[in-house]
Amino acid sequence: MSADWTVDEAAPKTQAFKIERETHKLEKRLCRHVGQAIVDYNMIEEGDRVMVCMSGGKDSYGLLDILLKMQQRAPIQFELIAVNLDQKQPGFPAHILPEYLKSLGIKFRIETQDTYSIVKDKIPEGKTMCSLCSRLRRGILYRVADEIGATKIALGHHRDDMLQTFFLNMFFGGKLKAMPAKLVSDAGHHVVIRPLAYVPEKDLIRWAEHRAFPIIPCTLCGSQENLQRKHTASMLHDWEKKFPGRIENMMAALQNVVPSHLMDLKLHDFVNLKPTGVPDPDGDKAFDTEEFAVPALPQTVQWVSA
């Protein structure tokens, strides 16, 4: 009888240990991915004041949470300031983010602007409001970045967002264009970074559950969901289940572009192309059978302890 009790008592402990171990592995993986992206694209430099844009969704919570961890172990000094834009959507729980950010003890700013009324006035009922809302929000955040002296603006877009954007631009915009990990704003005054560029969404979902972030829903405005993005996300999810490694390959492809084997006249001088007598490592291999493998990301991270 005592042996049976011992087994029964050990089972929950074993399960708890397994969960703790998997959570620790998840945290290390998140920090590794974020650290690698920061190093690869030189996202954060000595003395930077990084404005972390907080929407109240899992991605922005995860971004801030991981950057706070990176700040403690990074070989450089930088500052984090969380910024949330309260757009006055009906039912928006305005107390949640201030209370959460106060509990972290970090600097933050809540900017209140009634963009909701503007968007509702301009967009017909039943149409998606995301595009106009995004443009208004972006302009306000750029202004706030100037006012607080931010040198970088960090957004919470992850790997899946970037790939979805790539396919949406290809399918509906006729462009090979994704979300860059780092860019200069349209007006040329701000550097925008996406430290979650290498992070799969499924890891952010698991991390949000573990950390129990006080998630604020993004449907308060009543806008219709972007159905094309939803369909593209579903397509990528199906591919990931049926063809393991395909998502990693596609992400690697965004970092391994061969302009001479595409058709953009602005990127490659096809018109004046002539024999050079010099071997081309890419050459006409498009006609050959190749062995495909998933390229490994460079292992140069100095931000993450072993």
Which residues lie closer than 8 Å to 102 by C-beta, 6 or more apart?
Answer: 108
pLDDT per position as a tens digit, 276-299:
888 877 766 555 555 555 555 555
Nearest to 62 by CA among 162, 164, 190, 202: 202
Distance CA 57, CA 59 (A): 6
Check pLDDT > 70 for residue 303. Answer: no
Which pLDDT belongs to residue 2? Answer: 47
CA atoms of 274 and 114, how far apart (whole Å) = 59
Residue 113: which pLDDT band, with cuts at 50, 70 and 90?
A: confident
User: How much is the average pLDDT of 7-13?
Assistant: 63
> What pLDDT is recorded for position 288?
53
Identify the structural domains of the chain with CATH numbers, from first to last.
Answer: 16-234 (3.40.50.620)
d(CA 31, CA 70): 7
Task: Say if strands 191-193 and 182-184 run parallel, antiparallel, or are unpaired.
Answer: antiparallel
Does 126 have pLDDT greater than 70?
no
Instruction: Give the closest residue to 263 by CA, choosing from 149, 174, 183, 196.
Output: 174
For residue 173, what is the DSSP state? I
Which pLDDT tens digit goes with each residue over 196-242? 999 999 999 999 999 999 999 876 555 555 678 889 999 999 999 99
The predicted model scores a pTM of 0.84
